[in-house]
Amino acid sequence: MNRIDKKFQSLKAEGKKALIPYICSGDPSVEMTEKLVYALEEAGADIIELGIPFSDPLADGPVIQAAGLRAFAGGYRLADTFKIAENVRKNSEIPLVIMVYYSSIIGYGRERFLEGCVNADVDGLIIPDLPYEEYDEFKPLLENTDIYMIPLVGLTSGDRIPMLVKEAKGFVYCVSSMGVTGVRKEFDTRVESFVKEVQKHTDTPACIGFGISSKDDIDKFESYADGCIMGSAIVRKIFESNGDLEKVKDFVKELR
């Protein structure tokens, strides 16, 4: 069984919801990214999303864009994310999901990229610039692996929701807001009905991401969502604390 499935089963048995932090590979360094994974797990994270920096991201806001630029300036290369995952897997069974733009996969080589994921024992992939209609470009390559393609569903998906989630595995990434990632003061009033619509069409856990930055935000969603994904607020905390693991842990413990 995929580690993501195991995690959601155990959370359900304990009456808990998933906390899924996003961190940018290579920021502040490749070595620190591995240490951050352990720190986040110790703080109560259930699944870790490892972002692969990209020069022209479509979905990332300014905080994550800046983290990617810092990673590149420090010499980051895509293969470093596989090194991080391989090292983590020697010490931890926490589920690892890679967020990557399809342009990066094409540039690296699809078969080569998948080989890296398999060798690193990655559990899932989020590919924000690969629309459902073009899944056949890559998803068939995953068929003989235990790696899940995590679908993204947006507020405006409407009638497309049943199609987008019909083969969902791991969890469904429910995008809470229009636009790119980043801290938000308010959320769209349609979020609850949107998540419940997703849940009508799949038994796969529905998790909310984009804009979540505080315990108050998590409290808003925990009554109906199966988990929350937080990126920009954690990436900012890492940057502002100069990668201080204890400060990052304290921040995530409050969320848990």
Q: Is 123 a catalytic residue?
A: no
| Residue 186 burial (10 A CB sphere; 0-12, 13-18, 19+) | exposed
- Across-strand partners of 23? 50
Question: Which of 49, 80, 123, 197 is an active site residue?
Answer: 49
- Where does residue 182 fall: left (phi above 0), alpha (psi -120 to 50 degrees), or beta otherwise? left
How many Cβ atoms are within 10 Å of 188's Cβ, its own excluded? 14
Packing angle between helix 110-119 and helix 79-91, nearest 10 degrees? 20
Q: Are strands 124-126 and 96-99 parallel, antiparallel or unpaired?
A: parallel
In the chain, DSSP finds a helix count (H) and a strand count (E) of: 11, 9
Q: Is 143 a catalytic residue?
A: no
Question: Which of 27, 41, 60, 123 is an active site residue?
Answer: 60
**DSSP codes, 93-161:** ---EEEE--HHHHHHH-HHHHHHHHHHTT--EEE-TTS-GGGGGGTGGGGTTSS-EEPPEEETT-GGGH
Asked whether 44 and 256 are in contact (CB, 8 A), the reply is: yes
* Coil vs helix vs strand at 167: coil
Residues marked as catalytic? 49, 60
